[in-house]
Amino acid sequence: MREIKFKEYVTRHGTVMFYTLAEYSNYIHLKDNIICQFTGLQDKNGVDIYEGDIVSHAKESSMSSKCTMIGKDIVTWDRYNCKFILGVGDTWGMIYKKYEVIGNIHQKHEDIK
């Protein structure tokens, strides 16, 4: 079972706070703050992947081990199918890709790799 964690962007101070589910209910969250849930997965560097993260990935061809495409997608919650997805409908369970967190939609664009 995956650990339930949250990342909160405190817009007033420009800081980020991390919570477990038990800690989450002990804090007052301002309505301007942005809260993102942990997906249960980590990228190739061991970084936790949260909703709203921008990840880069390389898809490998089934014919060879060479990368055929490098892309960037945003991790989102599909509320109709109750699962995390990449971009527009790419199934999140495709773990053959080598994901790397390169930013978050809540960051300034110049901060993203």
Strand segments (E) across 34-110:
34-42, 48-50, 53-60, 67-78, 83-86, 90-91, 100-104
Structure tokens at 61: 């061809």
- Tell me the domain boundaries of the chain: 5-111
pLDDT at 80: 86
**pLDDT tens by residue, 61-93:** 555 555 555 678 888 888 888 888 887 655 555
**Tokens 């962007």 belong to residue:** 9
Confidence of residue 112 (pLDDT cuts 50, 70, 90): low
- Domain over 5-111 is classified CATH 2.30.30.290: yes
What integer best gives the mean pLDDT of the chain?
Answer: 77
Report yes or no: 7 and 16 within 8 Å, Cβ to Cβ. Answer: yes
